[in-house]
Structure 1
Amino acid sequence: MDICKNKKNNSINQVRYGCALGAFHSVSAIPGAMPIAHCGPGCVDKQYMSLGFYNGFQGGGYSGGAVIPSTNLQENDVVFGGAKRLQELIEASLKILKADLFVVLNGCIGELVGDDVGAVVDQFQKQGIPIVNAETGGFKGNNFIGHEIVVKAIIEQFVDKYTTAHSQKQKGLINVWSELPFQNTFWRGDLAELKRILQGAGFRVNILFGNNSEGVEEWKNIPKAQFNLVISPWLGLSTAKYLEEKYDQPYLHIPVLPIGADQTAEFLRKVVNFADHNKQKAEEFIAAEEKEYYYYLEHFTDFYAEYWWGLPSSYAVIGDSAYNLAINKFLVKQLGLIPAKQIITDNPPERYRPAISAEYQKLDTDVSAEVVFLEDGYEINALLENVNYGHRPPIIFGTTWERDTTKKLGGSIVEVGFPASYEVVLNKKYVGYRGALSLLEKIFTTVISKSA
């Protein structure tokens, strides 16, 4: 995972993401889908242990982790090619493993030596086997880039077989493109909450990943959706634009994941207005959710107003752009905290960075924050140590890599991204109405526990 970025030594200290091959997590996040890796020995294990284990200890499940078939290419395969080895692996996998869709991910070795993985996979496709090929050599970028490669491969080679150029669109049906599975520590719970609130507002939802997805059958319905909904600063935008061209589907881009009542209500109204659908139902749902949300918040204010524990007033967020921006909006608008330095670590493509930076200039009325794009852990921690947080120790929303620096600053840390080695995550969520309550509990439990 030493993706070359640092100008001095061509490596990244304390890496914050995987390589493109790590997109096999995106495959295993689709119920009924099975990844097959064409790569060197240890590649799958390294991506799993980092993204799936030391990141909330999420586990591999039915088609992830130790289950994933791999060619484990050796020196002989580098010299003579590994296509035959891949063919044998696919044949064996089809006999042993049950899946609705197989996705072959080609790694660095296979791409560098020129293995024609597409031709190998094509043999099985002609037999009617649901299998696709994705060229995900690690040198192509990180797992965010790999994710978009995999998604496009599934649509082109599998989904497209179940549609026509003029498929009938179903009003109220949405395809959701948002967090990156496994990279985002809380993706399972977050996607479940996004689906819940959209359904509550009267929509039918192809959430596509996670336990709340109907799996491969849901992917077949992608062309039938009224529109695509992108909920992230940049991930999913290229997919939505591709689907707009391919299936004549419009898309709505909302760059900020909603956290808390205000942002979630604003989010739902944007979606409803775009779809021109179920406005009354959406307002009824918002009213019911806000009633419950503010019931809990009313009782929480007794604690918050007293500041018994010397709560921090300033903060920094270190993480991928989706969570970084969402948490900033919530902390400023809901809690009135003061933003210090904000560090984005997912290496967004340059073309998206101006729009992302612009979002930090309008966190709230007359509130903005300085944001930088950094990936190297040494540089990030050096920067954090030299920020002025005011007269109280800060709260740091970051990763395991920031724990030592946070101790030096006398602050509190809430792990919100990869790697998260001090979090065990089952279905915890931080978005929407229910996720915001969980985030509040986590923040202030962390602060008062440190004071004990």
Structure 2
Amino acid sequence: MPKTKKDKCKQTNSINQVRYGCALGALHSVTAIPGAMPITHCGPGCVDKQYMSLAFYNGYQGGGYAGGAVTPSSNLQEKDVVFGGAKHLDQLIAASLKIMEADLFVVLNGCIPEIVGDDIGAVVARYQKKGVPIVSAETGGFKGNNFTGHEIVTEAIIEQYVDKFAPDKTTKKKGLINVWAELPFQNTFWRGDLAELKRILEGAGWQVNILFGYGSAGVKEWLTIPNAEFNLVVGPWLGLKTAKLLEKKYNQPYLHLPILPIGAKQVGDFLRSIAAFAKENEVKTEAFIKREEKEYYYYLEYFTDFYAEYWWGLPASYAVASDATYNLALNKFLVNQLGLIPAKQIITDNTPEKYREAIREEYKHLADDVAAEVEFIEDGYLVTQTIKQGEYGHKPPIIFGTTWERDITKELNGHIVEVSYPVSYDVVINKTYIGYRGALTLLEKIFTTAISKSA
């Protein structure tokens, strides 16, 4: 029997228990912008698969105004493969403009039209010449996962829409920042997280273009992107490509803070770093931190009775299997706020190679005297085997992962908190695990999970 070829991460060319969508899954980045509508040029079932995996069986987030069964699709057939589907797409766009109401239309294509050579850019260009707010994005599944697709879509909107329709691309508004953080829908808690992120930034004196979700002013907010004083990238890597594009295009500097802040310590460091970078809002930042910490530690003071006195089965060590953003954020919080011991850390989002070394460095100083190794693994079987090899001591560990990790958690007699796609045993509306308020929610989740195991 021939040997199975594996890469340096011991992975084959197939992935078990997938933890992201394909590039076309970035249609959800479009639906996350209030007033935007995706139009998809792909095979039958492609949109449904991306919706069911990313937006349904992942916190049951739902489709909303432009997602789910609403999203227009060409549903390409065999004849479109043979003769091309450009005419089919043209008809779909024309029909969508008549029926669907939106401030911006984004045409995304799938594998079939990219392989057969459909020029969606040329089709869309005809509508752009008529002044229709529409852009095209080449998101064939083989381009990469939905993180890649997200960057493709974001760039397309900036290049083809913002650059064309923004009324003022030169004036910079003092105190206005563009925020590039989590991937909508892929991150199950993105709605609540972005709302909390905007809340703490505004509390510290900033005006915020959050760009996605309820807190965004929608498509018209995107038109003010060139007016921001700077761009803020929150997380280990996603958003850096966009920030560099805007730096080049609109002469906007950017600040990269790799740690999504959870809890008082991280939020304080986060807000002070922004104030120091811009040399603005220092007084407002300190006043806001003081107010928020007073409330945060008020609740935590009462929690400490439980944490100090409850001796039965509370975890002392943990593993995290998630995307890079939540993985690093959770590690910082669990080590510094709770004093837990990191056992196994696994990043599952196929982080581009060029960012991995910088991420590894972050894990070398989780705290002054705590470091951990992080592994980049996408395959579910290998994730399970890696978690199984962890040293967790004599207490049941807590696993921060996905629905896929439930079996290995049972095998380890541990506790599981689902924090990364897919999250199939948690209905999520606007829950957040970040900032001040989200940290308290996370504490409740962790220890409710731990003590209810014996029920």
TM-score, normalised relative to structure 1: 0.98
Match of 1:79 among 77, 82, 95: 82
Confirm whether residue 309 of structure 1 aligns to residue 312 of structure 2. yes
Instruction: State the 1:308 CA deviation.
Output: 3.1
Q: Work out the CA distance in 1 between the residues paired with 2:49 and 2:447.
A: 34
* CA distance, structure 2, for counterparts of residue 421 and residue 247 of structure 1: 41
Match of 2:264 among 238, 250, 261: 261
Alignment match of 1:250 (pick from 247, 250, 253): 253
Please state if 1:349 is matched with 2:352.
yes
Q: Report the counterpart of residue 114 of structure 1 in structure 2.
A: 117
Measured in 1, the distance between the counterparts of 2:372 and 2:162 equals 42
Q: Which residue of 2 aligns with 1:197?
A: 200
Q: Which residue of 2 aligns with 1:149?
A: 152
Matching residue within 175, 179, 185 for 2:178: 175
CA contact (8 A) 2:11 2:379 kept: no
Q: How does 1:413-428 map to 2 (within 5 A)?
A: 413-428=416-431
Task: Check whether the contact 1:252–1:274 (CA below 8 A) recurs between aligned residues.
Answer: yes
- Which amino acid is 1:270 matched to? S
The secondary structure found in structure 2 opposite 1:171 is: strand
Paired residues of 2:313 and 2:396 also in contact (CA < 8 A): no
Amino acid in structure 2 at the alignment position of 1:450: K
User: Counterparts of 1:8 and 1:212 in 2: how far apart (Å)?
Assistant: 40
SS at match of 1:158: helix
Alignment check: 8 A CA contact 1:39 1:108 kept = yes
Deviations 1:98-148 (A, max 9, x none): 000000001111111000100100111111110000000000000000000
Letter matched to residue 39 of structure 1: C
Which of 370, 379, 382 aligns to 1:379? It is 382
| 1:309, distance to aligned residue in structure 2 (A) | 2.7
Q: Which residue of 2 aligns with 1:431?
A: 434
What is the TM-score with the length of structure 2 in the denominator? 0.97
The question of whether the paired residues in 1 share the 8 Å contact of 2:259 and 2:328 is answered with yes
Tell me what 2:322 maps to: 319
Report the CA distance between 1:212 and its aligned residue.
0.5
The CA distance in 2 between the partners of 1:350 and 1:386, in whole Å, is 25
Q: In the alignment, residue 47 of structure 2 is paired with which amino acid?
A: V
Specify the alignment match of 1:288 in structure 2.
291
1:235 counterpart residue number:
238
CA distances 1:384-403 after superposition (whole Å, capped 9, x unpaired): 11211111110000000000
CA distance in 2, matches of 1:232, 1:82: 39
Question: Which of these residues, 387, 391, 412, is aligned with residue 388 of structure 1?
Answer: 391
Give, in whole Å, the separation in 2 of the partners of 1:145 and 1:353: 16
Paired AA for residue 286 in structure 1: I
**2: CA distance between counterparts of 1:173 and 1:320?**
28
Distance in 1 (alpha carbons) for counterparts of 2:77 and 2:265: 55
CA distance in 2, matches of 1:165, 1:378: 51
Contact 1:343–1:372 (CA<8 Å) still a contact in 2? yes
Alignment root-mean-square deviation, CA:
1.3
Give distance in 1, aligned partners of 2:33 and 2:168. Answer: 25
Identity of aligned residues (%): 73
* Contact 1:165/1:247 (8 A) holds in 2: no
Task: Say yes or no: does 1:412 pair with 2:415.
Answer: yes
Does the 8 Å CA contact 2:24/2:109 hold for their aligned counterparts? Answer: yes
Partner Cα distance (1:360, 1:233) in 2 = 11
1:124 alignment partner AA: Y
Partner Cα separation in structure 1 for residue 356 and residue 167 of structure 2: 36
The answer on whether the counterparts of 1:293 and 1:433 sit within 8 Å (CA) in structure 2 is yes
Distance 1:7 1:124, change over 3 A: farther
Deviations 1:362-391 (A, max 9, x none): 100110111100000011101111211111
Task: Confirm whether residue 338 of structure 1 aligns to residue 338 of structure 2.
Answer: no
Instruction: Using the TM superposition, name which of 390-399 and 9-18 deviates more.
Output: 9-18
Q: 2: CA distance between counterparts of 1:412 and 1:306?
A: 20
- Structure 2: distance between partners of 1:7 and 1:283: 48
Task: Please tell me whether residue 57 in structure 1 is matched to residue 60 in structure 2.
Answer: yes
Equivalent residues of 1:309, 1:451 under 8 A apart? no
The alignment partner of 2:297 has SS state of helix
How far, CA to CA, are the matches of 1:16 and 1:9 in structure 2?
16
Q: 1:68 aligns with which of 63, 68, 71?
A: 71
How many angstroms apart in 2 are the aligned matches of 1:293 and 1:316? 26
Tell me the secondary structure at the aligned position of residue 406 of structure 1.
helix
| Contact 1:20-1:145 at 8 Å conserved across structures | yes
Report what 1:124 is aligned to: 127
Query: Alpha-carbon deviation of 1:10?
Result: 2.6
Shift of 1:221: 0.2
Q: Secondary structure in 1 aligned to 2:364?
A: helix
- Can you give the 5+ residue segments of structure 2 that lack an aligned partner in the other structure? 1-5
Letter in 1 for 2:97: L
**Dislocated runs of 4+, deviation >6 Å:** 4-8
Structure 1 range deviating more: 377-386 or 342-351: 377-386
Q: Would the aligned equivalents of 2:319 and 2:344 in 1 still touch at CA under 8 Å? A: yes
Q: CA separation in 2, counterparts of 1:134 and 1:8? A: 30
The whole-number CA distance in structure 1 between the counterparts of 2:313 and 2:429 is: 31
Task: State the SS of the aligned residue for 2:385.
Answer: helix
Q: Which residue of 1 aligns with 2:212?
A: 209
Task: Give, in angstroms, the shift of residue 275 of structure 1.
Answer: 1.4
Q: 1:177, 1:168 → 2: CA distance?
A: 21
- CA distance in structure 1 between the aligned counterparts of 2:192 and 2:23, rounded to whole angstroms: 24
- Number of aligned residue pairs: give it: 449
CA contact (8 A) 2:169 2:226 kept: no
Q: SS of 1:48's equivalent? A: helix
- Structure 1: tracts of 5 or more residues without a match: none
Checking the alignment, whether the CA contact within 8 Å between 2:168 and 2:227 is kept in structure 1 is no
Quote the Cα distance in structure 2 between the aligned partners of 1:171 and 1:303. 46
Counterpart of 1:409, as a letter, is L
Q: Is 1:299 paired with 2:302?
A: yes
Residue 162 of structure 1, CA deviation: 3.2
* One-letter amino acid of the counterpart of residue 340, structure 1: A
